[in-house]
Structure 1
Amino acid sequence: MIYKNSLQSVMRIARSDPDLQVGGCFGWAASDLIKAIRHGGLEVSGIEGIVLQRSSLSNGSDVGFPARQFVRNTDDAEPSCRAAVLAELKSLLLPYVRPAQFDRILADGLGLVASLAVEDLNELTVLDPASRGSWRYVLGSYAAYRATLSYRLAHAVYRSAERPQGLSSSVELRTLARSLSERAKVTTGVEVHPAARIGRRFVLDHAVGAVIGETSVIGDDCYVLQGVILGASGIAGNPTDKRHPTLGNRVQVGAFARILGPVTVGSGSHISPHALIVSDVPEGSRVRIVNQCQVRSAGARCVILGVIPDGPGKFQIFGSGLDGATVDFIDAQGTSVSYLKVDILSRASRRIDCRFHGRQAPSREMLRITMPDGNHVLLTQMEVTWRHLDSSSMRTDWSPS
């Protein structure tokens, strides 16, 4: 095991030892770096604690050290963070391009890319409590941040295709941008099209399975979790113009939410997990799914479409085949509760109007709809529905039988 405290030492070893391998689950970071060194020209410093492993010493086993060993928990000053991010950007680009070609590849240079990437890094470090406040820890171990970093670089290359310089053509630059994006998809599990436009201080957290389409636009200070899809509304044959969502500033998107089509999510909105968005969302909105899970006995033939509040202490059950049904609340053991009673105000095949009364409002209780033949349907996860009932006017002039 060889431990060195600067990239200069890594350069010297990588140039002289063709059998050098990298240990640990995050070895890809140093692997890219070593490959870049062997192509020649990388001269950077300032990242501490590179842990490398010689195959001749380890017999090919992986001892589990990460590619970086973090010596301190406290963060260094901004220049150190910027230098570390620049080194990562170069390690991503060098497998494809020699350092002398950087200026021809990036019309705006690496400086602007690094500035945006540093803001992303600091934002994730601050907002994710698991980071322990260390940007070094995030930079060295978070695949989600590496996906953001790769996007920043790929997007800069893609934009350079609009005004190619030197020997690089627009097609070559777009191919390079897509190659960076595709490699990030394989190594991080996140796909962000290099043409997507993403504002400052962007955070991908956990992020595995997230997809951000080509014409997506994301504002500043947005936070996106794993499995989120910003996609088109169709599958094949989508239009070539704007077909992906636009997110305003300060939008938070929960895990596995799907936002499809050229819709706009207003600034300050919160999209809850698993939501499906296919129309515009006003600013400052909170979008969530209200679940009403159904558990049916084997012979139940009635259909329950849903339960909605209908004024103080009242609710309506919609469906079909509801003639003769009775309604009551039961607990987790399937026993009718004594503190909640349901009066049926009217009943028809497609709707039952009910009113409940008791000494407390329902919360986690299940609603049981029983048919004359004894079969029943249980409605669970009704907490959101019951919160919308006004319990202040509940009748209390009753006693349990």
Structure 2
Amino acid sequence: MNTDSGNSMLQERLLELLNQVLKPTDLIQMTPYLDDIWSTVLLQVQDDLHAYADRDPASRGRPELILETYASFRAVLFHRFAHQVWLSDSIGENESIAHRLANAGKLQSGIEIHPAACIGSRFVLDHGFGTVIGETCEIGDDCYVLSGVTLGASGIADNRSGKRHPTLGNGVEVGAGARILGAIRVGNYSFISPACVITRDVRAHSRVSVVNQLQLQRDCTASYHGYVGAFVVDSHVHLVGELPNSLSLSAVDADHCLLDWLGFQQVSAGQYHYQYRVCPFRPTEAEWRSPISLRLSGPDHDITLLDPPGLARLVESVVPPQSL
């Protein structure tokens, strides 16, 4: 759409949305300050709209389509108004009006953005349903956030006042379902992969991913009820979790046949971390099949950890399988 007609359409839509949400008394209170708020919000929303059109292939680059049909953009639009009202101490009941605007965005999009949250220019909130952005969040310019993201506090209840939500630098991208918790900082142009849980600072230009093959298992039928998991790093088997005091480690193949020719020599032991080296007891010509699972046995437990990441490859490097 051309600039003049686009601005006219945008202003008409903004005014329509304001009239839908605010009470006449709210508009009367805002009237002396509406020009300043309006001009600021109009510029911000224009930038957000064109950034969305540029970065979202599904929109085919059509800002008018986003404005009229994208619920996630509606949440950003309402936040722009809510935040400016929140900052205007001269408006009576400014916090109440700001929350009404924010709630309108939440009801229409499923996205909750506290009106005090500071969001930079050209913000894109794509498929944002379920996203929560807390009160003391600070988001830089050119950030891109997907659905189900939580930018929240590290606690659940009785959180302290003051800065308790994350700060995102410029150009940060956050994948669906990620949780960024606490008063931490994510540096400029970092990429947070989907489903990550971030509780510490992330350096600029970093890419954070989650490795989700690690299985934590608890044996509910025995007297031992701790959680334990296993994975392989640098040719060593690592056990982590609430480890039993006494355990014997062995391996079974895909048919749960014991690999009695394979042993595990303990290299180190801590409270929550044991480390082992794989040691063949003797040469073998027995057939076995991947994947390999670990069996933890002891007087009060018998746990099988299915296919720990990297274990089958490590065993194959020590003793190649006769039959796969």
TM above 0.5, one fold? yes
Q: Is residue 294 of structure 2 the alignment partner of residue 368 of structure 1?
A: yes
Closer, same or farther in 2 for the Cα pair 1:356/1:314, shift >3 Å?
farther
2:242 pairs with 1:314: no
Structure 2 residue identity aligned to 1:114:
L
C-alpha offsets along residues 129-178 of structure 1, whole Å, 9 cap, x if unaligned? 2223322222221110100111111112222x23x3xxxxx333332222
Q: Is 1:84 aligned to residue 20 of structure 2?
A: no
Question: What residue in structure 2 maps to residue 379 of structure 1?
Answer: 306
SS at match of 1:104: helix
Which of 109, 118, 129 in structure 2 is aligned with 1:188?
Answer: 109
Deviation of 1:197 (Å): 0.8
Q: Is the 8 A contact 1:81 1:118 kept in 2?
A: no
Counterpart of 2:201 (choices 266, 277, 280) is 280
| Deviation (angstroms), 1:198 | 0.4
Match of 1:47 in 2: none
Residues 118 and 352 of structure 1, relative CA distance in 2, 3 Å threshold: same
Partners of 2:116 and 2:216 lie apart in 1 by 43
Q: CA RMSD in A?
A: 3.7
Secondary structure of the residue aligned to 1:119 is helix
- TM score, norm. by length of structure 2: 0.77
How many angstroms does 1:284 deviate by?
1.9
Instruction: Supply the distance in 2 between the matched residues of 1:171 and 1:109 (Cα, whole angstroms).
Output: 15
Distance 1:298 1:156, change over 3 A: closer
**Counterpart residue identity of residue 249, structure 2:** A
Which residue is equivalent to 2:247? Answer: 323
* Residue 278 (structure 2) aligned to one of 336, 348, 355: 355
Kindly tell me: are residues 310 and 105 of structure 1, through their superposed partners in 2, closer, same or farther at Cα, counting changes over 3 Å? same
1:200 aligns with 2:121: yes
Deviation at residue 367 of structure 1 after TM alignment? 2.6
Q: For residues 198 and 386 of structure 1, do their structure 2 counterparts lie closer, same or farther at Cα, with a shift above 3 Å needed?
A: farther
- Equivalents in 2 of 1:294, 1:286: separation in Å? 25
What is the match of residue 70 of structure 2? 142
1:2-401 aligned at under 5 Å gives the runs 76-95=1-20, 96=22, 104-106=32-34, 108-159=36-87, 161-162=88-89, 164=90, 170-291=91-212, 292-294=214-216, 305-311=228-234, 313-318=235-240, 319-320=243-244, 323-330=247-254, 334=255, 343-346=263-266, 351=274, 353-355=276-278, 365=291, 367-369=293-295, 371=297, 375-380=302-307, 382-383=308-309, 394-395=317-318, 400=322
1:6 corresponds to = none
Alignment-mate amino acid for residue 141 of structure 1:
T
Partner of 2:286: none
Give the 3-state SS of the residue equivalent to 2:194 in structure 1.
coil
SS of equivalent to 2:264:
strand
For 1:367, give the aligned amino acid. Answer: S
Deviates more, 1:207-216 or 1:370-379: 370-379
Q: State the Cα distance separating 1:211 from its structure 2 match.
A: 1.4
Return 150-159 or 139-148, whichever deviates more: 150-159
**Which sections of structure 2, spanning at least 5 residues, go unmatched?**
281-289
Tell me how far 1:199 sits from its aligned partner.
Answer: 0.4
Q: Within 2, Cα distance between the matches of 1:204 and 1:102?
A: 28
Q: Tell me if the contact between 1:296 and 1:377 (Cα under 8 Å) persists in the aligned partners.
A: no
Residues 300 and 377, structure 1, Cα contact 8 Å, conserved in 2? no
| Higher deviation after alignment, 123-132 or 240-249 | 123-132
TM-score by length of 1: 0.64
SS at match of 1:371: strand
Asked if the contact 1:254/1:273 (under 8 Å) is kept, the reply is: yes
SS in structure 1 at match of 2:51: helix
For structure 1, the 5+ residue unaligned runs are: 1-75, 165-169, 358-363
TM-aligned CA deviation for residue 182 of structure 1: 1.4
Displacement after TM superposition at 1:285 (Å): 2.2
Aligned length: 302
Deviations, residues 79-102 of structure 1 (Å, cap 9, x unaligned): 333322222211122243678986
Shift of 1:220: 0.6
